[in-house]
Chain A
Amino acid sequence: MRALAFMLLALASSPAAAADLVVQVRLANGAAVPNAVVTLYPGGRPAATGTAPRTFQIAQRDLQFSPFVLVVPVGSEVSFPNFDNVRHHVYSFSPARRFELRLYAREQARSVRFDRAGIVPLGCNIHDGMIAYISVVDTGFAAKTDAAGRASFAGVPAGPAVARVWHPYLRAPANQMQLRLAVAPTGRQTQNIAVALRPPPRAGRTY
């Protein structure tokens, strides 16, 4: 009996024990919250990213950035192709990455490398209504919620973990909330998280 208990404990704490985790983000009224970035830290530590950094893309089309929220691992490059017929002046003043790109013409693209974890808000100095966010993450377990408000993770190590949820309009300090959860050794686990959002800001330009 003692031997069985020891074996079970060993199995629970073994790296091989892992579950599929779905984080479901909703408002208090039950509405799904898309574009929330969920990051998981098994045992409170970043997980290895697993994949090599690669190039991502944020397009400028119809005077909007697309996607609105992009999740990239540290060390990734993001290209900014301009598919509009007008000029765009993309910038960010975030501590995670400060840059400025002058995109003159249609289909002109330039890339920026993101070497520090953090949130990088993007703007266009010519078109105030253009807003997007890059979440540069330092853990392999990072995903953006889909239209149904779900972020899915496969093979999350069992045991205690820290989950962080960030959304540009989240009503919380630094637009982020953190919670502790216990990941089951096997199977599929759903974690529901209720959040409150602020209304998106209106463009503040008068001329």
Chain B
Amino acid sequence: MRTFFSGIALSAMLAASAVMAAGQAGAEPVKVGMIVTLSGPPAALGKQSRDGFQLALDQLGGKLGGQETQFIVEDDELKPDVALSKAKSLVEREQVDVVVGTIFSNMLAAIFKPVVTSDTFLISPNAGPSTFAGKNCNPFFFSTSYQNNQNFELLGKYAEEKGFKNVFMMAPNYQAGKDSITGFKSNYTGQIADEIYTPLGHKDFSAEIAKISAAKPDALFTFMPGGMGVRFVKQFRAAGLADQMAFLSAFTVDETTLPAQKDDAIGFFGAGNWAPNLDTPGNAEFVAAFEEKYGYVPGTYAMQAYDTAMLLDAAIAKVGGDMSDKDALRAAIRAADFTSLRGGFKFNNNHYPVQDFYLLKVAKRDDGKFQTEIEQKVFEAQGDSFASECKMTW
């Protein structure tokens, strides 16, 4: 009896696979796997990435480079082990052609090796650690975002140019927090009022705010991503310090936190490679289409994912949908023959972008929503400072 049933099952499976093979014979669909953070408090960032990529895909009629595309989204839960197993499953089981991920640098570190060693292209739509920008740059890894330090460096440059004499610095007590202060200092030569490190996930900034208030600096530089930024901005404003000093920040006031910060963040400065009001071809249309579809203001995370999809679209079209010739595909990605929403975009020798960077300012729009807006351009066609350590040439 058992053999009888398994015989049926087997023949059914064979028949099914024969049908599938016939279906694929014409053109094999392009498979793109995405790994972003979609749970926990930072889920808003991953959601922006997923929605940005999906929007591009929808606008392209579900096709990248004219090829039917299967888009698989996975949640890394902000846990390195989960990210690793999801990446392995995408590469080994799903056999995707491209992995797009991640939001956080430590997640990228977790999935990097299994993806690139299987000769699968890995494109980061946000995380841009220095780790893979210098000596460890890789022919299978691209970033469409920025190198993490650049936003901090631009704020330091701005503080220097603006002639701030006394800057107070505050960051969470972990690697990225310390990097932010180092990045800022690399361009700022003025006096440092004080430099304080708070626990990661800090709740009550009253003690820090009292110190800032007592130090009377010209400007505050801070890096408080996610919920920390929401709390800090709120408390900073309530303490009445917003009128006394410039608020320079990176990843602290952006489209993912502004829905909670609202009026309290108005006039605060951020840093980035893009803003919803950037005047480039197609940008206004992108923002309008995104808001129409998802009901919230896109941030740089959404833009970078959208650009990633458009980059892939151009590259896949260039190789005529042939995903098997990796060298040709790499050359096509390197060419970056697409119109980026941020205007000029090309890849540096380390596969990180060369692009403009701007000081951003939080503003309230006429419809009552909040967004960052371009205040001034700080870096023009800027590559990162690690590219020279990368041995890759092309």
Q: Do A and B bind each other?
A: no
Query: Which residues of chain A have a CB within 8 Å of any CB of chain B?
Result: none
